[in-house]
Amino acid sequence: MTNDITRLSASDLASALRSKTITSVEATQAHLDRIAAVDGDLHAFLHVSSDEALATAAEVDAKRAGGEELHPLAGVPIAVKDVVVTKGLPTTAGSKILERWIPPYDATLVERIKAAGLPILGKTNMDEFAMGSSTEHSAFGNTKNPWDLDRIPGGSGGGSAAAVAGFEAPLAIGTDTGGSIRQPGAVTGTVGVKPTYGGVSRYGLIAMASSLDQAGPVTRTVLDAALLHELIGGHDPHDSTSINEPVPGVVAAARQGAKGDLKGLRVGVVKELSGEGYQAGVSARFDESLEQLRALGAEVVEVSCPSFAYALDAYYLIMPAEASSNLAKFDGMRFGLRVEPADGPVTAERVMGATRGAGFGDEVKRRVILGTYALSAGYYDAYYGSAQKVRTLIQRDFAAAFERADVLVSPTAPTTAFKFGEKLDDPLAMYLNDVATIPANLAGVPGMSLPNGLSDDGLPVGFQILAPAKADDRLYRVGAALEAALESSWGGPILNKAPELKTTELAR
């Protein structure tokens, strides 16, 4: 019975809750049981908040019993990436430097989740400060890919993706600075959406790169993503970069798209995001998906975005530059880890140095050093300044491409999930994973990854859809249409093809 509940989509679970077929306490407990049974292997969670989740569930059940008007997702449990601050729940951003820190406040999106009555199951694992594409840079151990426990679940949001793919949670929150929602979605066979920059409040997201970071939904279906997107999106006066407009009608778009009619839609294939460097199985699935879109009535055109060739380079200047400044506050003076120097005088400066030396992992140090250098006097124009110009060129490429197409598409990641350790010692190879996802962050446009089949190695492949800024609804229309077509060709959701996870007996 509990297995059945965890297999439900958030939308179906919400319906079951509404019809009082099950209670939120039952649903929450089922997911907590699933976490207890499989997370020993998966390690998607850094912290499980059973008591708080069940208390919320009981509260929602009581309100429902009392006939109160509830949010459509009320009672549906959710997992939150550990980079999002949660009042009273540990929040580490995957870093030793924040170990045991308990935030005194909630991120805006967490406030909205709490107000809507979604029990928070816990905090999910991630690369330290969201820096990485494999979750191997977490200070607290790797998260495994439910499809193959020897492989990475993607990153930085590998924990959220694995939790959803492993049926530990129907919904999760991710954050995406260069692909950290979409690439884990691609390699775990789940759906991930990076909304338009400013579409979801960043207040309470531990910042990596302020001009690129964006939170979004991690789910198993396009409709679920839309439901969560609508809940967490919208203007927040605490975030100056938040868009002061209503959230685009993403749920309506997902429902409309599921009807399978894409007549009149122009789909642009980005020439620069395919071919060399893309695994054969990835390219094959991508081409098949284009055929599906044509079959649904869409017109497929090729577009060129020549500046995308420089996107990775620009990204690895802007992101570390902003990160070097954003991470300066972690110094042992006010919160988190504090390390005193082993010998010599204990001055503020030396405590800061010792704390940062001990508290940050190698990838974080690499990016802080890179960013500090890029912002230094005499180098600023050549590095940060030039990178910002590239950013403008990429925005222009997008603008020109969106003249010719309503949405742009590409494979989400060049390969399927690689094995642990395979790219750990080669940062540049690791960075290349994000080659297709980074342009959207640099331009602030929304992007979605949804599963579009298995590669020759039997591992999931992701299909990326990009839309103009503030036209997030287009992602959902196209995504839902493609999802419906693909699932009908597969005979069910892709995750049905994933191997069963070994479960440990519950002590309860």
Partner 1 sequence: MTAATTTDLVAYEDAVRRYDPVLGIEVHVELGTLTKMFCAAEVAYGGEPNTQVTPVSLGLPGALPVVNGKAVEYAIRIGLALNCTIAESCRFARKNYFYPDVPKNFQTSQYDEPIAFDGWIDIELDDGEVFRVEIERAHMEEDAGKNTHVGGATGRIQGAEYSLVDYNRAGIPLVEIVTRPIEGAGERAPEVARAYVQTLRDIFRSLDVSEARMERGNVRADVNLSLRPTPESPLGTRTETKNVNSFRSIERAVRYEVSRQAGVLDAGLPVIQETRHFHEEDGTTSSGRVKSDAEDYRYFPEPDLVPVAPSREWVEEIRATLPEMPVARRRRLQKEWGYADAEMRDVVNAGAVELIEATIAAGTSAAGARKWWMGELARRAKQDEITLEDLVVTPAQIAQLQGLIESGRINDKIARQVLEGVLAGEGDPEAVVVSRGLEIVSDDGALLTAIDDALAAQPDIVEKVRGGNQGPVGAIIGAVMKATKGQADAKRVRELVLDRIGS
Positions touching partner 1 (CB under 8 A) are: 84-85, 91, 93, 98, 101, 103-105, 107, 202-207, 209-211, 237-241, 321-322, 324-325, 328-331, 333-335, 348-349, 352, 372, 375-377, 380, 384
Closer to partner 1 at the Cβ: 71 or 194?
194
Closest CA to 439 of 194, 241, 152: 194
Burial zone of 347 (CB within 10 Å; 0-12 exposed, 13-18 middle, 19+ buried) = exposed
CB of 55: closest distance to partner 1 in angstroms? 24
Q: Where are the alpha helices (H) located in 337-462, listed in sequence order?
A: 348-359, 362-374, 386-404, 427-431, 438-443
Residues 6+ apart with CB under 8 A from 478: 257, 262, 265, 267, 293, 298, 407, 465
CB of 414: closest distance to partner 1 in angstroms? 28
CA–CA distance, 155 with 233 (Å, rounded to integer): 23
Token pair recorded at residue 246: 């209503």
Residues 6+ apart with CB under 8 A from 503: 37, 38
Place of tokens 């209670």: 23
Closer to partner 1 at the Cβ: 110 or 152?
110
CB of 279: closest distance to partner 1 in angstroms? 35
CB of 347: closest distance to partner 1 in angstroms? 8
Closer to partner 1 at the Cβ: 64 or 123?
123
The SS3 assignment for 174 reads: strand
Closer to partner 1 at the Cβ: 76 or 209?
209
The SS3 assignment for 114 reads: helix
Q: Catalytic residue numbers?
A: 81, 156, 180
CB of 340: closest distance to partner 1 in angstroms? 13
Distance of CA 500 to the CA centre of its chain: 24
Closer to partner 1 at the Cβ: 65 or 105?
105
CA atoms within 13 A on the CB side of 206: 28
Closer to partner 1 at the Cβ: 237 or 246?
237
CB of 441: closest distance to partner 1 in angstroms? 13
Q: In what order do the strands lie in the sheet with 120-124?
A: 45-48, 120-124, 78-81, 171-175, 215-219, 191-194, 447-454, 460-466, 407-411, 266-270, 299-303
Closest CA to 465 of 279, 198, 262: 262
